[in-house]
Amino acid sequence: MLRGNLRDLLDILPEEHYITIEMVSKQMKLSKRTISTRIGELNALLRNNGAFIESKPRYGIRLCIVDIDRFTAFQQNKKRNADFIPDNTNERVEFLVVYLLNQENYVKSDDL
């Protein structure tokens, strides 16, 4: 599941052209350092879901989709789970079990 900042960041990233981290920083009202950290987190998540964030010096960043089917499934899952935040321990455990069982690749503890 995407946290709010990551979800917003993904919605901002264009596919057609590059956008600078400074522009993203102003749009999201977060520091450039925070945006860079969030980009790393989002990129790690996207790599398992058919996309990645391309970074090009002096141009910026953009979203690159390499497997449209996996990315579309990821987007649909993201929208379905957008409003769900586990409130208690049992919901968190259930969410993690379902999440881990539905992954095709291994999951690092840092990604959780």
CATH number at residue 44: 1.10.10.10
Residue 25 lies in a domain: yes
Residue 111 lies in a domain: no
User: In this predicted structure, what is the pLDDT of residue 92?
Assistant: 75
Q: What is the dihedral angle through the alpha carbons of 59, 62, 67, 73, rounded to the nearest 10 degrees?
A: 180
Q: Could you tell me the pTM of the whole model?
A: 0.66
User: In this predicted structure, what is the pLDDT of residue 107?
Assistant: 78
d(CA 22, CA 29): 10
User: In this predicted structure, what is the pLDDT of residue 103?
Assistant: 77
User: In this predicted structure, what is the pLDDT of residue 55?
Assistant: 94
Residue 112 lies in a domain: no
pLDDT tens series, the chain, 112 aa: 455 578 888 999 999 999 999 999 999 999 999 999 999 989 988 988 999 999 999 999 999 999 999 998 888 876 555 445 566 677 778 777 877 877 777 778 777 6
Residue 66 lies in a domain: yes
Q: What is the domain count for the chain?
A: 1
User: In this predicted structure, what is the pLDDT of residue 1?
Assistant: 45
Domain hosting residue 71, numbered range? 4-106
Residue 27 lies in a domain: yes
